[in-house]
Structure 1
Amino acid sequence: MTSPAREELLRHAVVHSAPAGTVLFEQGTMPTFQHVLLEGAAHLFGRSSEGKEVLIEVVEPPDLIIPAAVVTNSPYLMQARVQEASRFLLIQADAFRRTLQQDPALSHALVASLAGQFRRMVRQIKNLKLRSASQRAGCYILALRRKQGGGNRITLPYEKTLIASELGLTRESFSRALASLQHDGIEVQANTILIHDDERLAAACGPDPLIDPDEELHL
């Protein structure tokens, strides 16, 4: 990004600290800011007209929060809220769109962000449609293990109801999936999971580099 473009964005931006539980915006509302996640995480939820709510995605830094809505000046399709204290750079939506038209480097960065979000969404859809409940739970555990340093003791990052929702399951189905995986090398202790046999777990759930983002693809 050129210096003039950066200066233009910063003139219309503010750093915002959001405590746990803060709703950043509701689905159906128009964007007033482009949220740039600096620290923490943002949970994106979809809600039906009957009030049923599901967790669609957890966004981690550094990333833009739903830039498609900001760029097209369209209503948000999801609600965003934080489950832990987080920090954001809030850029006024009009200034973001105006600078985007003027600065090729910013446009390129936006395309890269949208491409990454698209690929994550495709992986998520494949995970939901091609795997059983126990396979989804097992691959989630393996991904979480890598994220937490590769040890054999992992901690669930948030409550099981949210994790189940992200995996397209009810809490009860998620609990049953975890129970079934105890025959495949894990032990569940409340919000802690012990992995006693990672090879057996992997054989049961089938990690796939074209679904699981942390799997290495060897060509």
Structure 2
Amino acid sequence: MTVRPGERPEIAQLPLFSQMAPAEQERILSGSFLQVFPPQLTLFEIGQRADFLYVLVDGMAELYCHGAGRDTTMRIVEPASSFILAAAVTDMPYLMSARTLMSSRILLVPAALLREIVRKDQALMEATMHELALAYRDMARALTDIKLRQSAERLGNLVLQQDHRQNGNGRVILRAEKRVLASLLGMTPENMSRAFGVLAKHGVVTDGAQVTICDRAALEAFVRPDPVLE
């Protein structure tokens, strides 16, 4: 369904749209669709043309690739973030598939409308460039992690990253299932279990989805975290 009047203030304040000219922002809101999707619903498949830009308002989604009978997680999307922006801007096929990991509220912006207004609205153009740049930096971090760290070190680095994003108090909630996190980090679930055992020797205590950093200095010495956090 289209964006209801009561939902428009919330959507208008999303980072991608908040600085737009009122007339162009209204065109985006009038032409887009806000929908609630159930868990484990495939949103699109690799190779499909990018008809929409997806903006996650609530919930969680997974971007993944599949081949040779198996899937691998490429990115976990959390609010409020757009995804597959590059495909929508370039009018090219999706390079990944996407599915919801929990009940999710997602804004669908027609890609043709997005491209039209990007050419007219400087604020949207700048916000689009900013989000594309952040996506590139995330990709560079993930590639660096795979190349420079062993599996337990990658897991420890993820814990430190999540702690930085979750107020830095040493208590981290892993919102995604551990099998999804394992795939994201290039591990099997069994390898992840062993990696948590290794981290237990370096100041990390795990209780279900909650991870507690009891000795930050020991964990950082083992993981060698990224020198640039942002």
Give the TM-score of the pair, scaled to structure 2: 0.84
Distance 1:88 1:188 in 2: 32
The CA deviation string for residues 97-126 of structure 1, in whole angstroms up to 9 with x for no partner, is 111222222111111110111111101111
Question: 1:74 and 2:98 equivalent?
Answer: no
Question: 1:168 and 2:172 equivalent?
Answer: no
> Cα offset for 1:148?
3.6
Distance 1:138 1:172 in 2: 16
Distance 1:137 1:63 in 2: 23
Question: 1:9 and 2:23 equivalent?
Answer: no
Unaligned 5+ runs, structure 2: 1-19
> Cα offset for 1:155?
3.5
> Aligned AA for 2:214?
H
Distance 2:212 2:27 in 1: 50
- In the TM superposition, structure 1's runs of 4+ consecutive aligned residues that sit over 6 Å from their partners are none
Aligned mate of 1:202, from 220, 224, 229: 220
> Cα offset for 1:12?
1.2
After superposition, where does 1:50-199 map in structure 2 within 5 Å?
A: 50-199=68-217
Distance 2:70 2:34 in 1: 32
Aligned length: 211
The alpha-carbon distance between structure 1 residues 152 and 102, as it changes in their structure 2 partners (threshold 3 A), is closer
Aligned partner of residue 179 in structure 1, secondary structure: helix
- What percent of counterpart residues are identical? 35
The alpha-carbon distance between structure 1 residues 133 and 97, as it changes in their structure 2 partners (threshold 3 A), is same
Distance 2:117 2:213 in 1: 49
Root-mean-square deviation (CA, aligned residues, Å) is 1.8
Give the TM-score of the pair, scaled to structure 1: 0.88
Distance 1:86 1:136 in 2: 28
Unaligned 5+ runs, structure 1: 214-219
Distance 1:154 1:37 in 2: 22
The CA deviation string for residues 2-25 of structure 1, in whole angstroms up to 9 with x for no partner, is 122112222211211112222211
Aligned partner of residue 36 in structure 2, secondary structure: strand
The CA deviation string for residues 63-94 of structure 1, in whole angstroms up to 9 with x for no partner, is 22111111111110111111122212211121
